[in-house]
Structure 1
Amino acid sequence: MRVPRRRREAVEVNLTPLIDVVFLLLIFFMVSTTFEPRQALELVLPESETGVAAEASPVTVVVTPEGAYRLGDRALAPGALEAALAQAAPRAREHGLVVEADGRAAHADVVRVLDRAGALDIRRVRIATAKATHSEAETP
C-alpha cells in the first residue's frame, strides 16, 4: 500500500520584527548619544593658576581668534550675538553663562559678550580657562 507523503511547507523566518527592533535600537542610540560639537574648534584657552573646576552650563558662548561667535553648537552671523543671547537669557540667568574665549581673541570681542550679558541681566558669567602648565618657579 502506498502512503501518500505530505509535502512539508518551507520554513520561513519573518525578518520584519527583527528589522523593526534593529531600527529602534539604532534610533535609541542616536538620540541618547551625546555629541561634543566643540571638538572641531581649535581653541587655545588662556591659562589660569587659580582657576577652579566648575559645573557645565547649558549656555556657552565661544569666541574664536577671528572674532566670530558661537552659542552652543550654533554659529552666529555678525551682529546676531545680542538676539541669540536674548533668546538664551532665561536659561543663562538660571544656570549661568560660560564664555570660552580663545587666548588669541581680541579683548574687545570678549568684552562685547560680557556687555551683552550684563544688558540682559545675566549675572552668573564664568570665563573658561585652561590649567596653567608652568610652575610658580618659572614665573618671573
Structure 2
Amino acid sequence: MTQRLNNLVQIDVPESDHEIDMTPMLDIVFIMLIFFIVSTSFVRESGVEINRPEAQTAQTKESAGVMVAITANDEVWIDQKLTDQRMVRPTIERMRAEQPDLGVMIQADQQANTGVLITVLDQVKLAGVEQVAVASKSVQR
C-alpha cells in the first residue's frame, strides 16, 4: 500500500501549465485606455481669476469650448494666454478652423470696461462663431 501512495504522489505536471497568460488582461486594459481617451472631453480654462457679475436670470451651462476672460485691468485672455484685443478675431478664426462647431464663453470681470467686452464680443462674432455666451454668477434666492 505504501508503494501505491508513492506512485500517486509522484505525478508529473508539465511546467508550462503553471504560467499565467497575461495577454487577455492586457487586451482589456488597452481597450479601456482607448475608450477613456476617446470619450474624454477636456475643459478649457480662461487662465485668470474673474469676479463675474451677478444676474437673476443666470443659467448653468457646460463649457462652451473656448474660454475668453476679460480682467478688471481690461486684459483679454484666451485659453490661458494673454492676447491683444486686435488679435481676438484671428485667434478665434484659427481655433474655428480646427473645430468648426466651436462655441465661446466670455467671462468679463465685474470691474471690466463694457467697451472692451463689446469689442471682444464683436470680434468673436466676426470670426464666425454662432454660439457665444457671457458668463455671470446666479443670485442666491
For the aligned pair, the TM-score class normalised by the smaller chain equals 0.5 to 0.7
3-state secondary structure, aligned to 2:59: coil
Shift of 1:81: 1.4
* Cα distance change on mapping 1:29 and 1:99 into 2, 3 Å: same
Query: TM-score of the superposition, structure 1-length normalised?
Result: 0.62
Shift of 1:9: 1.3
1:91 to 70, 94, 101: 101
Say yes or no: does 1:69 pair with 2:77: yes
Gaps of 5+ in 2: none
Identity rate, percent: 25
> Which has the greater radius of gyration?
2
CA RMSD in angstroms, aligned pairs only:
3.6
**Aligned 1:36-55 pairs, distance under 5 A:** 36-38=43-45, 41-49=48-56, 51-53=57-59
Distance (whole Å) between structure 2 residues aligned to residue 132 and residue 15 of structure 1 = 56
Shift of 1:33: 3.2
Distance (whole Å) between structure 1 residues aligned to residue 134 and residue 68 of structure 2 = 10
Gaps of 5+ in 1: 136-140
Query: TM-score of the superposition, structure 2-length normalised?
Result: 0.62
**Corresponding residue for residue 34 of structure 1:** 41
**Corresponding residue for residue 13 of structure 2:** 8
* Cα distance change on mapping 1:6 and 1:59 into 2, 3 Å: closer
Count how many residue pairs are aligned between Structure 1 and Structure 2: 127
